[in-house]
Amino acid sequence: QQKVQQSPESLTVSEGAMASLNCTFSDGTSNNFRWYRQHSAKGLEVLVSIFSDGEKEEGRFTAHLNRANLHVSLHIREPQPSDSAVYLCAVSVNSNNRIFFGDGTQLVVKP
Amino acid sequence: EAAVTQSPRNKVAVTGGKVTLSCNQTNNHNNMYWYRQDTGHGLRLIHYSYGAGSTEKGDIPDGYKASRPSQENFSLILELATPSQTSVYFCASCGGYEQYFGPGTRLTVL
């Protein structure tokens, strides 16, 4: 069964500094990856979806996927205090299969 | 616009009572999912469905049943609710490369 692990568990950065979050997965045939942001146990806000190796940018959020290394990352450029939230990595083998989540990274952005 | 709605949004139940959480999607997606999320954890899969009439067990199905009477509706049923089932429950629908989540239902079992 797919295992998805996120690191670090928590991260504190200063406003304006780059924030980098990591996610590793165990099934190398995975081809559907998303990063979600969740404020205080509220709904899930999709930030970036990526389906092939390389980079995908959505505003200040950039995902990097390297399936050979079983690794997908999220980089947040110029983070703001409003970006303080839990970030969840979601992985599936294809778009119609089960979605597996990591336990999340708690990001705190200090003014 | 693609949408997944859940009802109720908040529910307080008593131990031993029956609880039904409902999910509706207007996306015409075949696959639907029920997750629960507890503090400090990601989403854990309870049940899922590939289409009307089908239900499959996820990773933590004990104490839960599911029902998919139509393409649009997917329900999660707690026949005998217990305090350990206090959690936030999310429904999702998937089709093609699309994934949409509902806003969540906060369930408290006293």
**Is the per-residue pLDDT at B72 higher than 90?**
yes
Least CB–CB distance from B97: residue in A51, A98, A99: A51
A9, two tokens = 């568990």
pLDDT band of A26, cuts 50, 70, 90: very high
Q: Do A96 and B37 touch (CB under 8 A)?
A: no
Q: Do A103 and B40 touch (CB under 8 A)?
A: yes
Compute CA distances B31 → A1, A6, A48, A72, B78, whole Å: 19, 26, 21, 25, 21
Among the listed ranges A11-15, B40-44, B51-55, which one has the minimum average pLDDT value?
A: B40-44
- For the stretch A27-73, pLDDT in tens is 998 989 999 999 876 788 899 999 999 999 999 999 999 999 999 99
A63, two tokens = 């995902």
CA distance A61 to A64: 10
Tell me what the pLDDT averaged over chain B comes to: 93
The values of phi and psi at residue B84, to 5°, are -70, -10
- pLDDT score recorded for residue A86: 94
**Is the per-residue pLDDT at B87 higher than 90?**
yes
- Segment 28-87 of chain B within 8 Å of chain A by CB: 30-31, 33, 35, 37, 39-45, 48, 58-59
pLDDT band of B54, cuts 50, 70, 90: very high
pLDDT band of A95, cuts 50, 70, 90: low
CB contact at 8 A, B93 and B8: no
CB contact at 8 A, B100 and B93: yes
Residue to test with chain B: of A3, A35, A96, most B Cβ within 10 A = A96
Query: Residue B76: enclosing H or E segment and its boundaries?
Result: strand B73-78
Distance from CA of A95 to the nearest CA of B (A): 5
